[in-house]
Chains A and B, each alone.
Chain A
Amino acid sequence: MKFDVIIIGGGLAGMTAATALQEAGLRCAIVAEGLSLQNAPRRGFSAAGGTLLAGDRVVSGRFAGDRLVAVRTEKLGDVELEAENFVLATGKYFSRGLVADMDKVYEPLFGLDVEYDEDRSKWFDPSFAAPQKFLEFGVKCEGGKAVKDGKAIANLYPAGEVLAGVTSAQGDATEAIVKSAVEAVNAIWRK
């Protein structure tokens, strides 16, 4: 199946980017687990002709050179979803955009480069109310593009909380989330 843009994740960043791109006339598909696809934006996206793969999740990507060519999902099995561009809006730990194990923090879908502190003792402050460093971790970005093994991926745009430095758990980050989504939209639209 071919699309212009595939948006991975349907939270605030994913829905913002997807609705804007779909309404601009690009053929978009969202792959999103859970109820992150809230009703109102979901309706707008569907009404504009967008494709929703609700309750499904991306499990792997196929890369060619510096580009992401296609993704596979848990439920569609060997049927690939291809697109010109991809938006990664998978959020942080709860939505598994990031996974923390005992010694590292990683991005589980594509193995993208993640900004985090290698010293685990610095990940958190024992005081519950203090700012928590692990909430600042996230995928690396170069000119709006995701980075894998030190090189920017030319058509993969992270947006929202999956990004390093963007977090809603401490104060309101709506502006930062929407801003990163709009930046991804602009980058794709300018192409």
Chain B
Amino acid sequence: MEEIVMQETNISAKNFEQCQKCSLCETVCPVMANNPKYAGPKRSGPDGERYRLKNGIFFEDSLKYCLNCKRCEVACPSGVRIADLIQQARIDYGRKAPKLRDVMLASTDQVGPLASAFAPLANFSLGLSPVKGLMDLTIGVDKHRTLPKYASETFVHWFKKNAAAAQEAFGKQISYFHGCYANYNYPQLGKDFVAVMNAFGIGVQLIDGERCCGVAKIANGMIAAATRDAKINIGAFGKSVKEGRDIVTVSTTCTLTLLEEYPELLKVDNSAVRDHISLVEQYLYKGIASGALKPVWKEGFKARAAYHCPCHQERLGWGIFTTELLKMIPGMELIELESNCCGIAGTYGFKKENYKVSQAIGKPLFDNILAVAPDYVACECETCKWQIEMSTGVPVKNPVSILAEALDLEKTAKANR
């Protein structure tokens, strides 16, 4: 008789055999609570994987309803990478080519330059209800959605013209991964980042040939394009690290993609640069806590802010860096909102078929914000910002922009010379 050998440790990808069927993931899934067409993280993830490993015909199209917020992974007591299992299955077994709309929504760094070049026209026409109605009917971008505005001057263009020359004067240098949003939609965020870094005596360099992190392409099935961009980014990061500059990011979702999705889903090895990538709030918190960076705060600053922790920040586990940083500001009253997905999940909420679910998912958060009635919401994520501003009317500020307002930039620059 063949001897039975006990397998003592996990040997499966993404820890899936550690699933104990406890269903905790189902209790935190925002989609499952609002969309009966979605089977939930346990069945779509580890349960479905057992079937899919037998035969790919068991792949279900309903996995597209997963918004990849990764709350299931935060809840899982057994360390199963549930959302990764679902995204991996979509990559490995999904056979449908992405629709025109999905390609348009996902191609942030192809659409971005065009829309920026014609920004006044693009912003004007995308705000018109007949145009929205037409887009709703033809390509399926929901007409109720306020579309993101494009800036007429990109961050990179501004930086090269106004800031690049002054950077060499600083002793310490970092590379700034600005992401598509700061570049095409909201350059002010990039400008605030440069102002804060420079005040702390740190010079900012661009990343040579920066590409979109690829998160929207992964979500929309454009894996080859995402992988190509990932390889370019990792190559550029390597060059930056070799030249002595760490990479600092502002977007939580870009950061999660660079750190986790590259090796896990795109199979792009980031191990050589991984420890050199940090989110700006983490970078500043560590610097200030260790005494290396010395903030001087403005006198008389006053604000009442409500902090919304984006899902991908929850997954990174780094929300505490932001809250500890904001609590350092004298005159800041910080209220931490109850953890809840806002429902937009990048391109997900723009799609006609997801609009209602997206708003239903975010409702507890919107109600919470309206009840707190803060001066503004503090949040690191750009798509959360669109969703919260559209759904509550309360302005949303990135913590970097809040710091740029709260710091006495001149005195800070003197203190860090």
A residues touching B (Cβ–Cβ < 8 Å)? Answer: 1, 33-36, 43, 46, 51, 53-56, 73-76, 79, 94-95, 101-102
Contacts and interface: CB of A to CB of B under 8 A. Distances in A.
A153 B96 CA distance: 59
Centre residue among B8, B77, B339 by max chain A CB count within 10 A? B77
Interface string B267-288: 0000000000000000001100
Contact of B317 (A35, A76, A94): A76
B77 A36 contact: yes
A55 B318 contact: no
B320 A53 contact: yes
Given A43-B338, A102-B8, A73 B75 contact: no
Nearest to A56: B317
The 6 residue pairs across chains A and B that have the minimum distance between CB atoms? A75-B317, A34-B77, A55-B74, A35-B24, A56-B317, A35-B75
Given A34-B77, A94-B77, A53 B8 contact: no
Contacts of A55: 73-75, 314-315, 317
A34 B75 contact: yes
11 contacts: A34-B24, A34-B75, A34-B76, A35-B75, A53-B320, A54-B339, A55-B73, A55-B75, A55-B317, A75-B317, A76-B318
Contacts of B314: 54-55
A94 B18 CA distance: 11
B193 to A, nearest CB: 22
Interface of B: 8, 20, 24, 27-28, 73-77, 285-286, 289, 314-318, 320, 323-324, 336, 338-339
A79 B317 CA distance: 12
Contacts of B324: 1
A76 B285 CA distance: 12
B43 to A, nearest CB: 18
A75 B318 contact: yes
A60 to B, nearest CB: 16
Contacts of A94: 20, 77
A33 B77 CA distance: 6
A83 B8 CA distance: 36
Centre residue among A35, A75, A101 by max chain B CB count within 10 A? A35
Nearest to B73: A55
Contacts of A1: 289, 320, 324
A182 to B, nearest CB: 25
A53 B336 CA distance: 13
A95 B73 CA distance: 15
A79 B74 CA distance: 20
A95 B314 CA distance: 20
A87 B312 CA distance: 28
Contact of B336 (A46, A76, A95, A102): A46
B77 A75 contact: no
A39 B24 CA distance: 13
A77 to B, nearest CB: 8
Given A51-B320, A54-B339, A35 B27 contact: yes
Centre residue among B76, B286, B289, B320 by max chain A CB count within 10 A? B320
A101 B8 CA distance: 8
A65 to B, nearest CB: 25
B286 A53 contact: no
Contacts of B316: 75
A79 B289 CA distance: 10
Given A1-B289, A94-B20, A53 B317 contact: yes
Contacts of B74: 54-55
A36 B28 CA distance: 12
Contact of A73 (B8, B24, B317): B317
Nearest to A102: B8
Given A1-B320, A34-B76, 18 more contacts: A33-B77, A34-B24, A35-B24, A46-B336, A46-B338, A51-B320, A51-B323, A53-B317, A54-B317, A54-B339, A55-B75, A55-B314, A56-B317, A74-B317, A75-B316, A76-B318, A79-B285, A101-B8
Contacts of B285: 79
A102 B73 CA distance: 29
A51 to B, nearest CB: 7
B372 to A, nearest CB: 12
Nearest to A29: B320
Centre residue among B28, B316, B317, B323 by max chain A CB count within 10 A? B317
A63 to B, nearest CB: 22
